[in-house]
Amino acid sequence: MKNMTQEPRNILSQHKVSITNPRIIVLDTLLDFGNPITIEELQSKLKGKVAKSTLYRVLNDLKKINILNEFTSPDNAVVVELILEEDSHHHHLFCSDCGEVIDVELSDEFEMMLVKEMEKVQKELNFEIKDHRVEMFGLCTDECSNCE
């Protein structure tokens, strides 16, 4: 049985955000794409359906309720991705050629070691570390449909 939280209407009501057409459409598009997506690509998918200003507003709404992650790719494209409850902590791999962004889960041992490193840094620099991010850069090989 499919997770109810993945329905746009449920996601919105769970977060006490009013259910509107543009919000449903944007969520649907993000859920359907299923991967990190550039604003540019998202805009092209929504052309004629959601106004540009509304798209940015909806994305901000989703950020505010902490279900949208935003970051910048090495070629300075803004990328967003939904954070679903079922998603586990992960990182990203960027293709320098086609710009594709791929989710990557690293091993628990590695994540534990990273936490230890952060604890060391915290003490040394007297800084309270809340979060981290690991980004990997490289090149898609043969099976990428975008680069060739």
Partner DNA sequence: ACAATAAATGAGAATAAGTCTCATTTATTT
Partner DNA sequence: AAATAAATGAGACTTATTCTCATTTATTGT
Angle at the Cα of 138 (from 136 to 93), degrees rounded to 5? 35
CA distance readout (Å), 82 to 30, 46, 86, 96, 118? 7, 16, 11, 23, 26
Q: How far is the C-alpha of 69 from the C-alpha of 79, rounded, in Å?
A: 8
Q: How far is the CB of 60 from DNA (least distance, A)?
A: 7
With both helix axes pointing from N to C terminus, report the angle between 52-64 and 39-46 in degrees, rounded to the nearest 10: 120
Q: Kindly tell me which of 103 and 111 has the beta carbon lying closer to Mn ion.
A: 103
Per the CB < 8 A criterion, the answer to whether 16 and 22 are in contact is no
**Is position 140 an interface residue for a second copy (rule: CB under 8 A)?**
yes
Q: Kindly tell me which of 98 and 112 has the beta carbon lying closer to Zn ion.
A: 98
15 binds, among Mn ion, a second copy, DNA, none (CB under 5 to 8 A by kind): none
Q: Kindly tell me which of 18 and 126 has the beta carbon lying closer to a second copy.
A: 126
Q: And the tokens for 63?
A: 């950020």
Q: Kindly tell me which of 33 and 71 has the beta carbon lying closer to a second copy.
A: 71
Total number of residues binding a second copy (CB under 8 A)?
Answer: 37
Residue ranges in contact with a second copy by CB under 8 A: 72, 76, 93, 95-96, 102, 104, 106-107, 109-110, 113-114, 117-118, 120-122, 125-143
